[in-house]
Amino acid sequence: MASKKAAEAGKRKKEMILLEDKKEIIRKHEGGMRWTDLAKEYGRSASTIGTILKMKEKITGRDAAKGVTRVSKQRPPVLEEVEKLLLLWIEQKQRARDSVTKSFICEKAKALHADLLKQQPGTSADAEGFKASRGWFERFKTRSGIHRAVRHGEAASSDVATAEEFAMEFLEVVVSEGYLPQQVFNCDETGLFWKRMPKCTFITEDEISLPGHKPMKDRLTLLFCANASGDLKIKPLLVYHSENPRAFKKHKVNKEQLSVLWQSNPKAWVTRLVCEVGQCGFWSCYEVPPCGQ
């Protein structure tokens, strides 16, 4: 118990050194007082006294305002304005659903800083002094409340072993039956979230509390098809959840003139009914020419 109390007694709450005390330490040292004696008198470590003495030019050049109890760095007004304009720019990008990455933010900050210096001739801030460093960016995030948002899409998995086994079996059929590359076709589908924001972006603190803060992910499916020789590419199939979107009606879009074949079902999926041969099937829209034509 005695050793514990002694340890607790030895612990001292860290206190800031007043500016006037720092100046007094410098004056006494210049008068011939040693570091160790100064450390004992002010109850500080020798390393703390050494740090103060190394910064004496900066400390002696400052005057303490009435009521000031600690030294703190004053941020240039131009940087305050840069961060205000930068936050407005980020909010505009949010509304436009544009991606806002760290590099974009830093580049924009430097551009705003340069523009403000041009508008304020005679300012003490140096155009080369603001680098939009990583440290500044981290402090800007804390001050402004912006944070990094990661949007997760749907997870997908595939059976690689089965796919490789099928590829070998298919190759055997092609070779044994004597099919040419022009006669071998492959189809593959992919989902497209055409309103979706990029996966990572910086957003303001308030966005998470707004209704519908999740990014729009209006989905459609595309089916691509081509032969193995690459000399015949089938017109892509597009499957959407609406047969006749309002935009088509408004702008009088003729689906027959689109660069894709338009199909629809409630979930925007490529289903058996979409692909089957028939009046509305995918393959019924094509008449594949014989090999060599």
Architecture of the CATH domain 77-145: Orthogonal Bundle (1.10)
Q: With bands split at pLDDT 50, 70 and 90, how would you rate the model's confidence at 74?
A: low
CATH number, span 15-60: 1.10.10
Assess whether pLDDT exceeds 50 at residue 71: no
CA dist list (Å): 204 to 107, 111, 137, 259: 18, 20, 14, 39
Tell me the range of 2-6, 12-16, 45-49, 268-272 where mean pLDDT is highest: 45-49
Q: With bands split at pLDDT 50, 70 and 90, how would you rate the model's confidence at 173?
A: very high
CA distance 150 to 57: 47
| Coil vs helix vs strand at 198 | coil
| C-alpha 132, offset from chain centre | 16
**Are residues 271 and 248 in contact, defined by beta-carbon separation less than 8 angstroms?**
no
Q: What is the mean pLDDT of residues 200-218?
A: 53
The boundaries of every CATH 1.10.10.60 domain in the chain are 77-145
Average pLDDT, rounded, for the chain? 75
